[in-house]
Structure 1
Amino acid sequence: MRPPIASLVVLLLVVAALTVIGLDGIHAERVPQAVLNGEQQIAADTAQSVRTSIDAEASAVRRTAGAYPATSTSTPATALKALTSARKAVLGSALLEPHTGKLLAAGGKPAPLAGVDVAKAASGHGAIPPRLVTSGGTRQLLYFAEVTLPAQQEDANQDQNQVPSRTARQWLLVVAEALPTLTTYGDGRTAEVLDAKGTALATTTRGTAAPAAADSTLPATAARAASGSDRDTDASGSLLGADSGNRRTVAGWAQVASATGPGDTDKLGLVVLTSRAVPATTAAADYSGFALQAAGALAGLALLLALALHFLVQRPLLRLYLSAGRLARGATEDGPTAWEELSRPVPVHGFGELARIGRALESLRRQLLGESGPQEFPARRGPGYRALAVAGVLVVACWAVPMIFLLNRADTATAVPAPVLANQQARTEIATNRIRQSLDQSYTDLNEAAASLPGRDRAAQTEVLRHALADHKQYRSLYLLDRSGDITMRVGDTPLRTLVHVPEGGGITTVNTSGRIPAIAAYAQVRAAKGKAPAAGVVLFGEIDVKALNSILARPKLGSVWVTDSDNKVLAASVGYRAFQSLPESGMTRLARATQGAAGTAGSATSAVDRASSGPSVDAAAPLAQSGPTARLGWHVVTAEPAAALQLPAVQAEQRTMLAGILGLTLGAACLGWLHVVVIRPLRAVAVLVERLAGGDRRTVLHPVNHDEIGSVTRGLELMRQALAERDRAARSGHAAGASRSLRENTLQR
């Protein structure tokens, strides 16, 4: 009996203390932490874009070098021209002898090789990572790739009768390019690429940057922070810059390094720094007074419940326990002691089950003394202790329900600052650009494969498609269509397409409109080369694995991301989904439609706070592309980040207030439920048994279930039942003997 009551009081007092600790720690800063976190993630997203661009360029240089059809008669000049003629971003290039570093051929501007140990770079195992070098006061990236040429050489020292040895020669291709173009999102934001010393290598600004954003100390601070972190991870952070009136500079930094192991950008030491001046918050938020009031109210309720349970349950039950023990001793003993135990009446305390048990015990006491016989008790009874437990839960609910549903509600119109909305929109635009680049690259890769098909026999064309499938992991299937739309050649998985069409030109499209998996595909025309054998089909399709697309959608603290078609049906998502279903909230659909703009325009990104069914969220949407192969699709990217995940004072206060209410209601109900299980329910069972016993039922054996006060009462009742049953048997035996004597006496008299 005591543990549930003590636990109820202690746990409610703990919830009161947690309420004070949780709400007292919320303070409004001039710049909310959510704004700092958003800028940090924008820097991380921008760094990932830079890393992806460098990795893609390094892979493209290696792939081009590996696919070069070198022969033993190839010259360095012709090879260099063939390797770099199609690359528009090349500033300068060179072919070197990898063992000596001797220049074999050069193109464009002289490649800045000073300070690069070519022999050491080429001696490493695996791919050679890019290098950051200086040329003419500007920083450039050097990309390396090995070109293997078969050759048959005659060693001058060999005997002329010996067969010439066939060996392979290797050249080292060096391509110099500028740093990847840095794209900035969000009006007034500045983005910079820094080296390890904090020197800006590239800077872009979108719109007009506020004067506060021009904080000269931020680059050096960001470089120091990056140098103090692990270079093998994509470390990032946020900084606060200078004040300018009611605006404050917020900056984020992130390393351009691989997060999944050694990568091409790990040794470059590049850092991305983004900064933007945001309005400073002047409204104060102090929840300490509310926390003390709520905690005091809960502590008062806990003490009130403790007193009520003590006087209405605990003390009456202890008195009943003592009375039952006294009657049990009187029923089993003889002499003056038994008379003394049974002579005192049983006091009736409390109400409900305890009062019923007390009245029944008093009846049993009188039956043991022989003062009365069995007594019937009324079937209709008043409220019992179960009603008391329910009333206790309602008392706790009077405190908890307002905490959960009413108090400290965050106003969605004012709780989310404008910079947080702007950051969500900017991150959505970055995600959109990342998806667009992935789809554009898939289209470019498919074009390269399509250009390699004419002039080859069927076996060679199949081999080209197999190599393309192996080199480009985003494809799940490659196939050629003829003029009628039939598949004439295929490699990879079974196509998902259900739409049979032979489109003109090239681009990105969907090739099904239903099913569990959407089939997004790149397609390109296969041109017939003059004087060469035609390809086995006229259009090459490459179905893009939706898993590969889904994997690039998710980003930390961006929330859920969806790619939708022109009808706002889901094509890809960062969370579980069914293909071609609608967006989960109608507000997201309205937001996606709002990005479409006027007829004939590409539209623009937008954002809003949506009071969704699962709670308020910060949503944003952006058109997928304004140019390129995906521009005419009308697709969108929609993101939704729950406001509960943002570190905003109003939202934090709402969350912690709700948590305190939920904890208080759960723990209070649990403890009162415990009291019901171990005290109230057994009391109800004992009340029924003792009334039956007092009503004359001497056959039902009373078995104690629990080893507590109620179990002791049950054991005492069983002793009383046995005593009463024995007395009834003795009385019946005496009555039978008296009747037999009377019968004999009457017979003798006759």
Structure 2
Amino acid sequence: MPPARQHRARRRADMSLLGGIRPPIAVLSALLLSLAAVTALVLGPAGDTSLPKAVQTSQQHFAEDGAIALRASIDESVTDLDRAAGLFSAGDPVSGDTVLDKLGNTYQKWMGTAVIEIRSGKLVAARGETVPLTSLDRSTLGAEGGLAPRMVRLENGEVRLLSFALLSWPGRPQLLLVASNSLKFPGISLGQFRAIAVVDRSGAILSSDGIPEPEQVLTELQRKEVAASTKQLKSFAKQASAQAGRQPLSTKEPGSGGYLGVSGSLLGGTWLSDRSVAGYATLSSPQPGESTTATALGLTVVAMVKVAEDPTRSTSSVFWLVAAGALLVIGGIAVAVLLGTVQRPLIRLFLESRRLTRGDLDRPVSVPGYGEARRIGTALERLRRQLLGEPAEDTGPAPAGRGLRRVGTRALLAVSAVLLLAWSVPLLLVLNRADGTVVVPQQLVNDQRERTDTLTDRVRRALNEGEADLQSVASLIGDRTTPAEMTKVLDRTLNQHLRYQSLYVVDASGHVVARVGDKPREAGPKPAEADPLRLLGQGGTKPIVAGTAEIPGRDGSAVVGEFRIDFLNSMLKRPGLGVVRVVDDHGQIIAGNTGYLAFQSLPSERLQDLVLAAGQKVGKSAHPAGVLYREGGVQIAAAAPFVGGGPAKKLGWTVVSWQPADRLAIPEYDVQHRTVLAGLLGAAAAVACLGWMHIVVARPLRALADQAEALADGDRRTVLFPRNHDEVGAVTRALEVLRQYLQGQRRDRPTGRRRAPDTAHEQHVRN
């Protein structure tokens, strides 16, 4: 063979080593070794499981709920005060007593209100507790941000939040409307053994709830426990204030999303086998990048609870060590099968075919013992004999192999796949199943119940606030006589409150006099006969919540506001609470945090029974209910009906939430998830590498076996084209060379004389 041809042949042989059978086997070996190491060293160790991570995360979500409720309460209070002052200023001048009387009749949210004359500082009117006006600097009221709410500490140590609004009429002294309120949480359900506090930027506690006063306890042990809880809460407050200045994304795990502000959990000390756990959350705007009045105050909410630890609760690494060892053994057997039954026969064919193309026809072809490699080897031997000029009757088709000799490459790959899947499938489907053995901490059930109760109160208060706004608008519209003036008041209210989709004024007969927003969907019944809040739209596809406030002195005319259902849905979006639904007094779905069909029943009888159980009155009122049940897996569910005052209570609605326990960071489920992950990784490695070998080796080898047998049977016209530069492609090129020799197209026909092989390269390929 000329030197140039030898160089090209050597180059093709080198290229075959870049693809073909060796890379997938090498990659499979590396993946199995890596997976064994990951199984033993990464997936196995679980750390301290005496206090599940889910309990800590639940406290973080509890603090986030408190921060949302406090932020909404402060912003709503400021907005209501500004809107009321604006409506008063837009009408005829009234006295300070009239302003405070109407304000008190409409809203019952402030602890004290006052009206002062800005220029002289004279107190014009006051209601409720004494407003701390001595701390007010009247010279700053006209400056930018002068009317921003501010916190004032009283002599007894309590903190009050002062909100301001201007009352101005042409030709009369400008007045300042001041409202005072505490920083207590509205409607937070604490349950047992929980405390919650509001913390400022320096870590000082501005208000707290849940820890009894020392004089309220009886025994010495209780006094020590109260002192320890107070000390621990102060420590948590300092830690939370230090975290409050960080970026929100830096306090959460990547991809967790959820709360827009800074939030997290903290671990404290132990007291009588109970560990203190806290969650913290800064007040955050409901929309990214925005700022509200409440968020500018720099407040942080800290929620602390005592949880009983289980020191005997631990996970062992023995299972993972055994699994890693089993993978090494099974993987070694699978790789050995591939090396011995697929790779070595294919490389032997590659070397034998090259020997024949170089003219070495003296030695018989070493024929592999199985499958397509055996068929190709038999065809090469027949072609060698034909090149030596043996009689045609001695070169006919070789008899088909029997037994194991008929096993093909695909069957050998299937054997390797069965070996590897024998390790992966039990991990995926059988081992470490947690549904039958999981121990769900009672604290998680309690948190689900208390958070659902808090959310129920938030929805009820939002509806009551909306009805109060309508009452305020109705009292001010009473002095407007033309539809244009009414429309102006309605438009201002609609722009200030996004809870309404339409606002309109109807007369005694139900005829719409003035309106803004969407077209009224339900104007009746007559205003004088309507409930303050009512649910409409039954039998349709969209619920309608309408509020009605009668206009004083208008003979049955009223202001009607239709609430946005999306407004209710947005309040139900709480991380870590699962699926949330609001159902009416008939158990039909009204709103939800995920997709739902309106006026449909709950998806489970267990949930329907839970709603009925929560609605049963114990004493004078109903109470929230939380349960743990097994139906399609372990589920945590809770339901809380509307309780408390206001017109929303008459609706008889209930908020119900549920979530599967396997989504929580409970040790048993963590082990199950890690087991499934190991099985998935093992199955993925097997499918990827064996599928790779099937595509680049098994299928081309099967096609080549048919072509080789056809060539040995006498087909000299079919040209053999190699598809890839690998071992199969090299054998294909060798067969094409032999075909051309047999067809008489080559002048340098092999003569049977053995030529010197490329010893160094062939030795490398053999190895």
Q: Match of 1:303?
A: 332
| Pairing 1:191–2:196 present | yes
Contact 1:454 1:534 in 2 (8 A): no
Shift of 1:477: 1.6
Q: Report the AA paired with residue 523 of structure 1.
A: G
1: CA distance between counterparts of 2:488 and 2:93?
Answer: 25
Shift of 1:67: 1.1
2: CA distance between counterparts of 1:79 and 1:405?
Answer: 70
2: CA distance between counterparts of 1:500 and 1:96?
Answer: 43
| Pairing 1:494–2:512 present | no
Q: Match of 2:760?
A: none
Pairing partner for 1:466 from 491, 495, 517: 491
Q: More deviation in 112-121 or 207-216?
A: 207-216
Pairing partner for 2:466 from 442, 451, 474: 442
Q: Match of 1:344?
A: 363
Contact 2:460 2:649 in 1 (8 A): no
The change in CA–CA distance for 1:95 and 1:447 in structure 2 (over 3 A counts) is closer
Contact 1:65 1:83 in 2 (8 A): no
Q: Match of 1:692?
A: 710
Per the normalisation by structure 1, the TM-score is: 0.84
Pairing partner for 1:679 from 697, 710, 718: 697
Shift of 1:149: 2.0
Contact 1:508 1:521 in 2 (8 A): yes
Pairing partner for 1:223 from 237, 241, 245: 237
Q: Match of 1:173?
A: 177
Q: More deviation in 297-306 or 700-709?
A: 297-306
Q: Deviations over 1:272-319 (max 9, x none)?
A: 333333222132322311111111111222211111111101111111
Q: Report the AA paired with residue 201 of structure 1.
A: S
Shift of 1:25: 2.8
Pairing partner for 1:640 from 658, 671, 675: 658
Instruction: Give the 3-state SS of the residue equivalent to 1:674 in structure 2.
Output: helix
2: CA distance between counterparts of 1:728 and 1:64?
Answer: 104
1: CA distance between counterparts of 2:683 and 2:47?
Answer: 26
The change in CA–CA distance for 1:257 and 1:471 in structure 2 (over 3 A counts) is closer
Pairing partner for 2:737 from 719, 723, 730: 719
| Pairing 1:321–2:350 present | yes
2: CA distance between counterparts of 1:219 and 1:683?
Answer: 73
Pairing partner for 2:397 from 376, 397, 413: 376
Contact 2:417 2:687 in 1 (8 A): yes
2: CA distance between counterparts of 1:378 and 1:508?
Answer: 91
Instruction: Give the 3-state SS of the residue equivalent to 1:278 in structure 2.
Output: strand
Q: Match of 1:248?
A: 275
The change in CA–CA distance for 1:379 and 1:11 in structure 2 (over 3 A counts) is same
Contact 1:130 1:264 in 2 (8 A): no
2: CA distance between counterparts of 1:431 and 1:377?
Answer: 81
**Count of aligned positions:** 696
Q: More deviation in 235-244 or 33-42?
A: 235-244
Q: Match of 1:475?
A: 500
Residue ranges of structure 1 left out of the alignment (5+ in a row): 152-167, 331-340, 730-750
* Bigger relative CO (Cα 8 Å, ≥ 6 apart): 2
Q: Match of 2:54?
A: 34
Q: Match of 1:570?
A: 589
Aligned pairs for 1:23-422 (under 5 A) are 23-69=43-89, 88-96=108-116, 98=118, 102-103=121-122, 105-108=124-127, 110-125=130-145, 128-151=148-171, 170-180=174-184, 183-194=188-199, 196-199=202-205, 201-204=207-210, 211=222, 212=225, 214-230=228-244, 234-256=261-283, 258=285, 261-266=290-295, 268-330=297-359, 341-373=360-392, 375-376=396-397, 382-411=406-435, 414-422=438-446
Instruction: Give the 3-state SS of the residue equivalent to 2:294 in structure 1.
Output: coil
Contact 2:642 2:648 in 1 (8 A): yes
Contact 2:114 2:126 in 1 (8 A): yes
Contact 1:226 1:235 in 2 (8 A): no
1: CA distance between counterparts of 2:57 and 2:618?
Answer: 37
Q: Which has the larger radius of gyration?
A: 1
2: CA distance between counterparts of 1:394 and 1:297?
Answer: 14
1: CA distance between counterparts of 2:117 and 2:708?
Answer: 105
2: CA distance between counterparts of 1:510 and 1:62?
Answer: 30
Q: Report the AA paired with residue 229 of structure 2.
A: D
The change in CA–CA distance for 1:75 and 1:523 in structure 2 (over 3 A counts) is closer
Q: Match of 1:165?
A: none
The change in CA–CA distance for 1:440 and 1:150 in structure 2 (over 3 A counts) is same
Instruction: Give the 3-state SS of the residue equivalent to 2:243 in structure 1.
Output: coil
Q: Deviations over 1:696-716 (max 9, x none)?
A: 111111111111111010011
Q: Match of 1:17?
A: 37
Instruction: Give the 3-state SS of the residue equivalent to 1:31 in structure 2.
Output: coil
Instruction: Give the 3-state SS of the residue equivalent to 1:150 in structure 2.
Output: coil
Shift of 1:73: 6.4
Percent identical residues: 37
Q: More deviation in 78-87 or 644-653?
A: 78-87
The change in CA–CA distance for 1:133 and 1:67 in structure 2 (over 3 A counts) is farther
Q: More deviation in 200-209 or 543-552?
A: 200-209
Instruction: Give the 3-state SS of the residue equivalent to 2:64 in structure 1.
Output: helix
2: CA distance between counterparts of 1:71 and 1:602?
Answer: 42
Shift of 1:618: 2.7
Q: Deviations over 1:159-198 (max 9, x none)?
A: xxxxxxxxx8643322223334553332332333455453
2: CA distance between counterparts of 1:130 and 1:358?
Answer: 92
Shift of 1:384: 1.2
Contact 1:413 1:609 in 2 (8 A): no
Contact 1:70 1:150 in 2 (8 A): no
Q: Deviations over 1:702-744 (max 9, x none)?
A: 1111111110100111111122222899xxxxxxxxxxxxxxx
Q: More deviation in 226-235 or 402-411?
A: 226-235
Pairing partner for 2:649 from 631, 640, 654: 631
Contact 2:50 2:314 in 1 (8 A): no
Contact 1:184 1:206 in 2 (8 A): no
The change in CA–CA distance for 1:641 and 1:359 in structure 2 (over 3 A counts) is same
Instruction: Give the 3-state SS of the residue equivalent to 2:656 in structure 1.
Output: strand
Q: Report the AA paired with residue 469 of structure 1.
A: L
RMSD of the alignment, in Å?
Answer: 3.5
Shift of 1:466: 2.5
2: CA distance between counterparts of 1:633 and 1:206?
Answer: 35
| Pairing 1:7–2:27 present | yes
The change in CA–CA distance for 1:90 and 1:125 in structure 2 (over 3 A counts) is closer
The change in CA–CA distance for 1:92 and 1:2 in structure 2 (over 3 A counts) is same
Pairing partner for 1:511 from 536, 541, 566: 536
The change in CA–CA distance for 1:342 and 1:24 in structure 2 (over 3 A counts) is same
| Pairing 1:579–2:605 present | no
The change in CA–CA distance for 1:170 and 1:528 in structure 2 (over 3 A counts) is closer
Per the normalisation by structure 2, the TM-score is: 0.82
